[in-house]
Structure 1
Amino acid sequence: MDMLKKVVLIDDDQINNFVCETIIRSENFAERVMSFEWAEDALNNLKQVAVQNPEEFPDLIFLDINMPGMDGWRFLEEYRKLPEQATKKCSLFMLSSAVDREDIICAKTHAEVRDFFSKPLSPEILNLIREDYIS
């Protein structure tokens, strides 16, 4: 499988973002990785890209649930409002330390969410995504 062009991480944990970026790069999973510690900043960036350069919209987004300000659920509500022309090629995955069964069930009820993975991100998770969702 070829590398994805762009992956976006949305997580308020700076260290987790660094670890995820490192794993994504070391596994040749994506050409570019962008991290956002604030869901609002990620959403603003995605809105701008969706309107100005939809072809630059990320191929994949990893989204945390529990974040200050806008949490993952609120982000999903706003993400739905983005132009489908941009979002239709993007796979969105929840990546969270939440182990609440209700969160996992809720994540899977959102059409935008392809799957839910528990942190930490690992090469095994990336391989699973490659095999089951991208190939």
Structure 2
Amino acid sequence: MLDLILCVDDDPITLMLCKKVISKASFSNTIITAKNGEEALEYFNSIINKEATKELPQLIFLDLNMPIMDGWEFLDNFSTDKYAEVNSTKIVVLSSTIDPEDHEKSKKYPMVIDFLSKPITTNMLTYLESKIQL
């Protein structure tokens, strides 16, 4: 079981479903959420700047299509040296897109371990357990 997961998605129903499925599967002790990439980066900034005693998530479920800062912009920022001390966190892109170019593009980011289609399911979590080495 993971200690902490961050779910980044602008849809409150998707976030609620993520929390419910992850809790039901006993996949993580704690689930935190962000409505877009900017909120997620603010969370990591608070860790880097030691503004609060926040934990580093062990896994991020990241949507691609969001307002303010989408998943691609988050990945571009998170891949920079500024986030070097925290960007070892594994990321699973969880998106409704069916564009194969998005899947290929996600492979350019070393922290992205998989690209899965919404909605999240307990079978997905079982599959991810082997990739994350719980």
Q: Structure 1 length as normaliser, TM-score?
A: 0.90
Q: Which amino acid aligns with 2:115?
A: F
- Call closer, same or farther: CA 1:54–1:91 in 2, change over 3 Å: farther
Q: Which amino acid aligns with 1:56?
A: E
User: Which structure 1 residue ranges, 5 or more long, are not aligned?
Assistant: none
Superposition misfits of 4+ residues, deviation over 4 angstroms: none
Instruction: Quote the residue 1:60 is aligned against.
Output: 59
SS at the partner of 1:109?
coil
User: Which structure 2 residue ranges, 5 or more long, are not aligned?
Assistant: none
Q: Single out whichever of 76-85 and 59-68 deviates more from structure 2.
A: 76-85
Cα offset for 1:112? 1.8
- Between Structure 1 and Structure 2, the one with more helix by share is 1
1:20 equivalent among 1, 18, 21:
18
In the aligned structure 2, how far is the partner of 1:9 from the partner of 1:80? 18
Give RMSD over aligned pairs.
1.6
Q: Deviations over 1:38-89 (max 9, x none)?
A: 221111011112332788110000000111121111000111234433332x
Does 1:101 pair with 2:113?
no
Identity of aligned residues (%): 32
Q: Structure 2 length as normaliser, TM-score?
A: 0.91
SS at the partner of 1:44?
helix
